[in-house]
Chains A and B, each alone.
Chain A
């Protein structure tokens, strides 16, 4: 019986010109978005790879110079673009693309791509994720809002119920019918997406993407399940098809446009972040408490010098056998690192708490859970931006430590110029960033999946309950 109802719904929908038109539009947008995403991914990935190679070459071939100048010259770490970002670019447009790794200073990621875009981009760019998160639910609403209310308006609901169809079967059948119509659209799109992904990863690492894709797909299926359930519920309870449609559109607007903005406002108020000026002033103030290795008259530098002399049991800096400059430089780095850890840690924690509030709003707007999960699986969520920033910072500290060690060991002492070359630059390993694996991301983001499952289950229960109490007229 369920199958028969589903087949009837499916046939009806696929014959409906409005559905065909809407589905064609959504399909065209989805495919266009995938194509755009693929093109952008391939371009940016190539540019990033070239840039990474180039900076490495520049680091190695910077010529003979004092190692500390080399540390000031530093190097750059470029944020990789994960393959699934072609589906969901997440916050990529609003985070920098690269970070300068230099002596004495932790830097933030530079060059947000959104600054190189027009105001039109703020309407929301056409990405596969925005189609999946906003337009497909709208299509579900347009497909299913007349499920009960439309039949009631036409008078066929009374007939149907007189046949003795169990209301639960009716609801299930209708849900299945909508799902089949959706599958007609989404399965080919998923195949196209998989093909795009396969060519974007170069084939090799495609297997690694499978659990991510599967989890993302599961998230979207639950999200759509919630929308199907909600639409059937409203359709069964509303007085007319028109009322059902208006209520559902109202929910769609709250879900997609209003709740995310309110969540952001609330999060910003609850967990404020400092202005860039205040942040940097606080860091500067605390850096000054440490050793200034560039000022020979700094009392802390002199104290350190005395301590080192004492520890080594010599009277003069010339008798140390090592270059004190390297020790002083590293000492000031260590102090700086503690300051950066405290400030950047607090800042990133505030961001994370803000994001936590956005996710908590998923109880009002399932979009927020779906988006969070989708970005996480694509590797374009804020948390993974932080992962990259931390990895780059760890690499910076390692780089500076290697260089300072070299100054300590091979430096010629005060007043004598020490020049190093490629064999020293080569001691610093190349920066290789491994994004967190599926298990790590899934361990962080399973609550999103749980919230979506909760929405789906609640809406399913509501839909069956509403169907069993549906009034025939």
Chain B
């Protein structure tokens, strides 16, 4: 019976020009969203290719320059000597730590346009390389992107509501509902059948288009974890769509006029998609405010000027702590600026680390609160889940930053002893310069968070559907 109702409803929809327009708008915005997302991914990929090219050519040049120096020639100025470890580590031999775009970044740009995705590693303190940003007009960042995430979170519900706000009310207003119910069919089955028909149509279309579009845009299904992520992406969008259909169903079951249904549903959209996220943001930023970075700047300068004033003392202290690095009196490089600098950097890093951590901790607290409050509105739950599975979330950025931290440590461990022993780089050393290898966020972490979000979408949908079906018992079938 359900199937027959659904089939009949689809036939009615096919005859309705407004429905065709809505469906065409959905298709158009999905296609445009994927196109925009893939433009962003291509930009990142092109930038990373240029980054790799820059690094490779620099290292080749460095090695060539080092080989060109005759072993018995007079040493060039120390801060230009390609054989000086400080020079290699801090300028000429710098390697990049880069993260490729998230596996499904073309489908949700998310937060990725705010975060730097590559860093030039250095033997200096973390704060010297961490603050860089990709170039972007601030008004563009403010407006946000027309990506698939935007289409799903904002426009998709509107199209669903446009197709389903009058599922029952229109039939009642036309007088056809009473006639339908004169047949051996239950009201419940009619409403459910209509909702399922429309949901089937819209979800198949939206998800199908999005998936095809993203495959065309270059999402690689063979890459590890990508099919699972795509599955989670589809499940999230389907659950989000189901929520809005369930809401429309429940409102239809109230027995109001079509116009009232439309107003009620649009008000719900406004409350859940526009106002609730702003309120969550207010709650999050007032409960765990992240202090302004101007404080950090002051602290960094305080630490670095203090450290450089104590430079020679710190150097002596350093050798006292690390007697194994004490250079022989005939070390090839004189104790110069770079060596002193290295001792100073270490002290600065140690002073600054807790200050920098305060910002990250506070942001982590904010994210924790968002994780809990996201269940208040399906819009936030969906956005978070989409960002997570697409690899464009704060979580993935933190995952990358942790690897950058580790790599910084590896870099320091490789270079600092060489700087402090005042050695010269041998030709083998150039091949041994550490390289960064990005490890993608483990699927288990992503899946756990996305599954939580899914639950937060499915539970209210189920409640709304059941409430709607229960309300139908008192539905005024005839009359306005």
- Chain A residue numbers with a CB within 8 Å of B270 are 138
B368 to A: closest C-beta gap in Å: 10
Knowing A44-B292, A242-B258, A245-B259 touch, does A277 contact B54 (C-beta < 8 A)?
yes
A97 touches B136 (CB 8 A): no
Q: For the complex, is A264 an interface residue (Cβ under 8 Å from B)?
A: yes
Asked whether A190 is an interface residue with its Cβ less than 8 Å from the other chain, the reply is no
Q: State whether A263 and B143 are in contact (beta carbons under 8 Å apart), knowing that A112-B114, A112-B133, A385-B138 are contacts in the complex.
A: yes
- Tell me which of B190-198, B233-241, B275-283 binds A: B275-283
Kindly specify which of A121-129, A197-205, A426-434, A444-452 makes contact with the partner chain. A121-129
Q: Are A278 and B50 in contact (CB under 8 A)?
A: yes
Q: Does the CB pair B50–A123 fall under 8 Å?
A: no
Q: Mark A51-90, 1 if CB is under 8 A from B, else 0.
A: 1001100100011000000000100101000000000001
Chain B proximity of A229: nearest CB distance (Å): 22
**B79 at the A/B interface (Cβ < 8 Å)?**
yes
Of B47, B279, B281, B289, the most chain A CB neighbours within 10 A belong to B281
Whether the pair A124, B137 counts as a contact (CB closer than 8 A) is: no
> Is the Cβ of B292 less than 8 Å from the Cβ of A123?
no
* Distance (whole angstroms) from the CB of B139 to the closest CB of chain A: 5
Could you tell me if B278 and A114 are in contact, using CB atoms closer than 8 angstroms?
A: no
Tell me if B286 and A119 are in contact (CB < 8 A).
no
A241 touching B259, Cβ below 8 Å: yes
Whether a CB of chain A sits under 8 angstroms from the CB of B227 is no
**A97 and B259 contacting across the interface, CB-CB below 8 Å:** no
Tell whether, in the assembled complex, residue A273 and residue B136 are in contact, meaning their CB atoms are under 8 Å apart.
yes
Q: Please, which residues of chain A bring their CB within 8 A of the CB of B46?
A: 275
- With A123-B281, A123-B383: A351-B137 Cβ-Cβ less than 8 Å: yes
A160 at the interface (CB under 8 A from B): no
Whether the Cβ atoms of B297 and A120 lie closer than 8 Å is no
**Interface flags, B22-64, vs A, CB<8A=1, else 0:** 0000000000000010000001001100110010000000000
Q: How many Å lie between the Cα of A158 and that of B140 in the bound state?
A: 49
A264 engages B363 (CB within 8 Å): no
Q: Collect the chain A residues with CB atoms within 8 Å of residue B384's CB.
A: 119
Please report which residues of chain A, range 309-334, place their CB below 8 angstroms from some CB of chain B when the two chains form the complex: none
| A47 and B294 in contact, given A279-B135, A382-B137 (Cβ under 8 angstroms) | yes
CB of A162 within 8 A of chain B? no
A233 is an interface residue with CB less than 8 A from chain B: no
Q: Is the CB of B297 within 8 A of A114?
A: no
Is A134 an interface residue, CB under 8 A from the partner? yes
Q: B394 on the interface (CB 8 Å rule)?
A: yes
B50, B134, B297, B387 — which one has the most chain A CB atoms within 10 A of its CB? B297
Q: How far, in Å, is A232 (CB) from chain B's closest CB?
A: 18
Alpha-carbon distance between A156 and B384 when the two chains are bound, in angstroms: 49
Contacts of A405 in B (CB 8 A): none
State in angstroms the CA–CA spacing of A358 and B47 once bound together. 26
- B248 at interface, CB cutoff 8 A: no
Question: Considering the chains assembled together, what is the distance between the CA atoms of A410 and B236 in angstroms?
Answer: 70
Q: How far is the CA of A338 from the CA of B136 in the complex (A)?
A: 23
A341 in the interface, Cβ–Cβ < 8 Å? no
Q: What A residues does B135 contact at CB under 8 A?
A: 108, 273-276, 279, 347
- Please report the C-alpha to C-alpha distance between residue A116 and residue B291 in the assembled complex, in whole angstroms: 9
Q: Which residues of B contact A404 (CB under 8 A)?
A: none
What residues of chain B lie closer than 8 Å to A96, measured between beta carbons?
133
Contacting pair A354 B139 (CB below 8 A): yes
B143 in contact with A260 (CB, 8 Å) = yes
**Does B133 contact A276, Cβ atoms closer than 8 Å?**
yes
Q: What's the least CB distance linking A44 to chain B, in Å?
A: 5
Instruction: Bin chain B's interface residue count.
Output: 35 or more
Inter-chain contact B292/A126, CB cutoff 8 Å = no
Bitwise, A280-302 to B at CB < 8 A (1) or not (0) is 01000000000000111100000
- Partner of B133 from the list A48, A108, A245, A358 (CB cut-off 8 Å) is A108
- Among B46, B54, B114, B296, chain A packs the most CB atoms within 10 A around the CB of B114
Instruction: Tell me the complex Cα distance, A51–B84, Å.
Output: 37
Interface residues on A, range: 35 or more
One of B144-152, B316-324, B404-412, B425-433 at the interface: B144-152
Residues of chain A within 8 A of B436, CB atoms compared: none
Contact A94 B141 (CB under 8 A): yes
Is A364 at the interface (CB under 8 A from chain B)?
A: no
Bitwise interface map of B from 263 to 278 toward A, beta carbon under 8 Å scored 1, else 0: 1001000100111011
For the complex, what is the distance from the CA of A44 to the CA of B291, rounded to whole Å?
Answer: 8
Report the minimum CB–CB distance from A388 to chain B (whole Å): 12
Query: In A29-50, which residues have CB < 8 Å from any B CB?
Result: 29, 32, 36, 43-44, 47-48, 50
- A120–B284 touching, CB < 8 Å: yes
Chain B residues closer than 8 Å to A218, beta-carbon distance: none
Given A98-B294, A245-B263, CB of A124 within 8 Å of CB of B277: yes
Question: Is B137 a contact partner of A354 (Cβ separation < 8 A)?
Answer: yes
Does A126 contact B138, Cβ atoms closer than 8 Å?
A: no
Which B-chain residue is minimally distant from A279 (CB atoms)?
B135
Asked whether B51 lies within 8 Å of A264 as measured between CB atoms, the reply is no
**Interface-facing stretch out of B5-13, B216-224, B298-306, B452-460:** B298-306
Q: Give Cα A279 to B282, complex, Å.
A: 36
Quick check: A249 and B282 within 8 Å, CB to CB? no
A135 to B271, CA, bound (A): 11
Give Cα A348 to B1, complex, Å: 64
Other-chain contact of B111, A119, A260, A382 (Cβ < 8 Å): A119
Question: For the complex, what is the distance from the CA of A332 to the CA of B305, rounded to whole Å?
Answer: 26
**Other-chain contact of B380, A120, A126, A257 (Cβ < 8 Å):** A120
B284 pairs with A264, CB closer than 8 A: no
CB nearest to A110 among chain B residues:
B131
* A306 and B442 alpha carbons, distance in the complex (Å): 63
In the complex, the answer to whether A124 meets B274 with C-beta atoms within 8 Å is: yes
Which of B291, B298, B379, B383 interacts with A55 by CB under 8 Å?
A: B298
A95 near B132 with CB under 8 A, answer: no
CB neighbours (8 Å) of B154 from chain A are: 257
CA distance A12 to B41 in the complex (A): 54
B168 interfacial contact with A, CB 8 Å: no
Taken together as a complex, chains A and B put the C-alpha atoms of A125 and B279 apart, in Å, by 8
Asked if A111 and B293 sit within 8 Å, CB to CB, the answer is yes
Query: How would residues 413 to 426 of chain B score, 1 for a CB under 8 Å from any chain A CB and 0 otherwise?
Result: 00000000000000
Q: How far is the CB of A360 from chain B (nearest CB, A)?
A: 13
A412 within 8 A of B: no
Would you list which residues of chain A between 124 and 168 have a CB under 8 Å from chain B?
124-126, 130, 134-135, 138, 142
Measured CA separation A86–B281 after assembly (Å): 17
A115 close to B (CB within 8 Å):
yes
Bound state CA distance, A427 and B51, in angstroms? 42
Contact A265 B137 (CB under 8 A): no
With A63-B309, A123-B380, A126-B281 given, is the CB distance from A261 to B143 under 8 Å? yes
Using Cβ atoms and an 8 Å threshold, which residues of chain A touch B285? 117, 121, 125
Please give, as numbers and ranges, the residues of chain A lying within 8 Å of B292 by CB-CB distance: 43-44, 47-48, 97, 113
7 closest pairs, A vs B, by CB?
Answer: A123-B277, A111-B293, A242-B259, A94-B138, A91-B138, A51-B294, A126-B278
Q: List 17 A-B contacts (CB under 8 A).
A: A50-B298, A54-B302, A58-B298, A94-B136, A97-B292, A112-B114, A112-B141, A114-B114, A115-B115, A116-B363, A118-B367, A119-B393, A120-B284, A125-B281, A126-B279, A242-B262, A276-B132
**Chain A positions near chain B (C-beta within 8 angstroms):** 25, 29, 32, 36, 43-44, 47-48, 50-51, 54-55, 58, 62-63, 73, 76, 78, 90-91, 93-98, 108, 110-126, 130, 134-135, 138, 142, 240-242, 245-246, 249, 253, 257-258, 260-265, 267-268, 273-279, 281, 294-297, 347, 350-351, 354-355, 358, 382, 385
Interface residues, chain B, with chain A CB atoms under 8 Å away: 36, 43, 46-47, 50-51, 54, 76-77, 79-80, 110-111, 114-115, 118, 131-146, 150, 154-155, 158, 258-259, 262-263, 266, 270, 273-275, 277-282, 284-286, 289-298, 301-302, 304-305, 308-309, 359, 362-363, 366-367, 370, 379-380, 383-384, 387, 393-394
Contacts beyond the supplied A118-B284, A262-B146, A264-B146: 19 A-B pairs with Cβ under 8 Å: A25-B275, A44-B292, A78-B294, A91-B141, A116-B290, A116-B359, A117-B285, A118-B370, A119-B383, A120-B284, A130-B278, A138-B270, A267-B140, A275-B47, A277-B118, A281-B54, A294-B79, A351-B137, A385-B138
